[in-house]
Amino acid sequence: ALIIDPSNPVDATALQNDFQAVLGELVAAYGAPSSTFERGDFAGDVVQAIDDGDLIRIAEWRTASGTLRLGIPRRLDRQVRIEVHHARSFRPPTITLWGLDAVN
């Protein structure tokens, strides 16, 4: 997993720009995503929108051993992070509580 701290996690425009920058890097490395899921807009209180499930951004690439997922997960600590994970499978994109809780 890779955790990215946005430059300004409470600024909607900055968060959108950071997400798009990471997405652009992954597209350059892996090509177009196999699937994407988007809900809501980067506007207003993005922390609350993410926590409420009103702002969802997920892009996924299928790999030989699973799925590479880029997204902005809902987190128990309400911190806004952009995360990249690779796993055999993920829950549906509307289940937004999939971010890492702790890093050791």
Report pLDDT digits (tens) over 25-42.
999 999 999 999 999 999
**pLDDT over 90 for what percent of the chain?**
89
pLDDT of residue 65: 95
pLDDT of residue 104: 53
Phi then psi for residue 45, to 5 deg, are: -80, 90
Over residues 71-81, the mean pLDDT reads 93
Phi then psi for residue 19, to 5 deg, are: -60, -45
Evaluate whether 12 touches 43 at the Cβ level (below 8 Å).
Answer: yes
102 pLDDT above the threshold of 70: no
